[in-house]
């Protein structure tokens, strides 16, 4: 499923127009992006947050020589129990 498919499914579920569904989907995604640093917890779905990676030494796969990998921050998602149960 891509974003267009999601918009179509939301429009069908709500019995509304695709324009209204597009605005709703975009609003949800934008608000998750804006608040991910604080943490976003959607009960029954999951939580979005930021995780920190420490600097480390890696290897260039082509030459095998060691390289330094800088510390970074990444977005993480942890699925909620109800969401995990659907996958089982």
Domain coordinates in residue numbering, the chain: 1-35, 48-88
Q: What's the whole-model pTM score? A: 0.76
- Residue 49 near residue 39 (C-beta atoms within 8 A): yes
Helical pair 3-14 and 18-35, crossing angle rounded to 10 deg: 120
Tokens representing 34 are: 């804006």
For residues 26 and 83, what is the distance between their CA atoms, to the nearest angstrom? 22
Band of residue 87 on the pLDDT scale cut at 50, 70, 90: confident
Tokens representing 65 are: 């020589």
pLDDT of residue 61: 94
Q: What is the pLDDT of residues 37-84, one digit of tens each?
A: 999 999 989 999 999 999 999 999 999 999 999 999 999 999 999 999
Q: Does position 12 have pLDDT exceeding 90, yes or no?
A: yes
Between strands 72-79 and 66-69, the pairing is unpaired
């Amino acid at each position: 499923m891509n974003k267009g498919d999601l918009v179509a499914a939301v429009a069908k579920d709500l019995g509304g127009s695709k324009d209204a569904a597009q605005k709703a989907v975009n609003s949800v995604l934008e608000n998750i992006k804006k608040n991910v640093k604080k943490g976003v917890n959607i009960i029954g779905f999951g939580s979005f947050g930021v995780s920190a990676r420490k600097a480390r030494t890696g290897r260039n796969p082509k030459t095998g020589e060691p390289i330094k990998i800088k510390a970074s921050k990444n977005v993480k998602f942890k699925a909620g129990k109800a969401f995990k149960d659907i996958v089982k």
